[in-house]
Amino acid sequence: MLAYDIVGGNYDPFWAGFPLTNINLCIAPDVLHQLYQGVFKHLVTLVQNVVGEEELDERIQRLPPTPGVRRFPKGISNLSQVSGTERKHVARILLACLNGKMEARGIIACRSILHFIQLAQYPSHDKHTLQYMTDELNTWHTYKDYFIEKGARAHFKIPKFHSLLHYVDSIKWLGTTDNYNTEAFERLHIDLSKEGWRASNKRNFFPQMLSFISRQEKVSAFDFYKSWTSDNEENTEQLDSSDSKLKSSSLGLAKYPKETRKKIDAISFLHGAPGFVGALKLFLNDCLSPGYRLKKGDALKKRLPFTTLGVWHNFGLVPLEVLDQPEKYLIKAQPLSSSKAARFDTVLVLENEEAQSTAVQGK
């Protein structure tokens, strides 16, 4: 009985003598392991049980290429040791693959979970966004019985689904989830483990990895010391140059266009943009000084002083990333040709800095 008391855990927890401590508030949500590697993983399994693994894989394979979304040419059922990044890419395409194959109740349930996951990652919250999270979670509980009726699962007594109930209170108590998401710390595996392993000779590697990390820290400390002791004006010039490089590198465009002298009529037809000429006239009119601008109707009646334009088929875009390494997206506007199929990617552009309080303001 004494062994049972010791091994079985028949003891008072360490926080029992802390009257002002609520241990439940010390358990912080984790977007990576709770949402993507937990809730979303279960959601994909539910969808596969209802739709079928082969059918879902075929629909994923038929999706057109999209900037910022990874393609899965062999589907997702054969993936092993799926990473959090891969699950994020699957989350971006899952809902589109259910259209026409799953009933509306099931699609609404899936959409509510996907919306909740996105809302939980906002870098700023207010009472409206927290209410959005509550509404999406209530929608999930309203329609989750669809998967039980289809035999995809017998119950939803899953701890990680239960954890969703505490996200709003945790955000109120601890702040936004990016403050305690383990994804930020797992990024250190690359710097503190993988790079040191690659730099070693793979034999007796622990001392070599420690030496590698120590040298990296010394170099970083020396660089910081040099920047601290340098002149303030030089520091300002260096910061300005680095900022300009960052801004210029966020949007990449080839030096010369793919087509140098393409007729405007051909652009309107081949690129599927019948309103291109009118939009170009209004854009050029807005570029004029206020005293020389024409009214919208008069500007559209004017003839363009040129008949050809240089056309680029793609450009690179590096969006703002906080935790992850910046990923460059290739945005394409590629007309139909004899060698390639047409591809026109969709880009959402904010025309001004005003936006709803959903973490978009200022972007």
What does the pLDDT look like over 72-102, one tens digit per residue? 999 999 888 888 889 999 999 999 999 889 9
Instruction: Work out the burial of residue 38: count CB atoms within 10 Å of its CB; fewer than 13 is exposed, 13-18 middle, 19 or more buried.
Output: buried
Q: Could you tell me if residue 189 is inside a domain?
A: no
pTM comes to 0.68
Looking at the fold, whether 171 and 28 belong to one and the same domain comes out as yes
For 179, 192, 322, the CA distances from 357, given in Å and listed in that order, are 19, 37, 18
Q: Could you tell me if residue 47 is inside a domain?
A: yes
Largest distance between two CA atoms of the chain = 96
Looking at the fold, whether 137 and 171 belong to one and the same domain comes out as yes
Looking at the fold, whether 94 and 180 belong to one and the same domain comes out as yes
CA 26 – CA 205 distance, rounded (Å): 37
The Cβ-side half-sphere exposure at 158, using a 13 Å CA radius, reads: 16
What does the pLDDT look like over 94-148, one tens digit per residue? 999 998 899 999 999 999 999 999 999 998 999 999 999 999 999 999 999 999 9
Looking at the fold, whether 44 and 106 belong to one and the same domain comes out as yes
Which residue, 140, 142, 137, is CA-closest to 171? Answer: 137
Looking at the fold, whether 243 and 268 belong to one and the same domain comes out as no
Distance of CA 248 to the CA centre of its chain: 22
CA 73 – CA 295 distance, rounded (Å): 51
Residue-number span of the structural domain to which 342 is assigned:
250-258+312-363
Looking at the fold, whether 232 and 254 belong to one and the same domain comes out as no
Looking at the fold, whether 130 and 174 belong to one and the same domain comes out as yes
The structure tokens listed for 149 are: 């009726």
Looking at the fold, whether 304 and 230 belong to one and the same domain comes out as no
Q: Could you tell me if residue 235 is inside a domain?
A: yes
Looking at the fold, whether 60 and 112 belong to one and the same domain comes out as yes
Residue linked to tokens 């990895």: 209
Q: Could you tell me if residue 56 is inside a domain?
A: yes
pLDDT of residue 166 exceeding 70: yes
124, 359 in Cβ contact below 8 A? yes
Residue 50, number of CB atoms within 10 A of its CB: 22
Residue linked to tokens 């891969």: 86
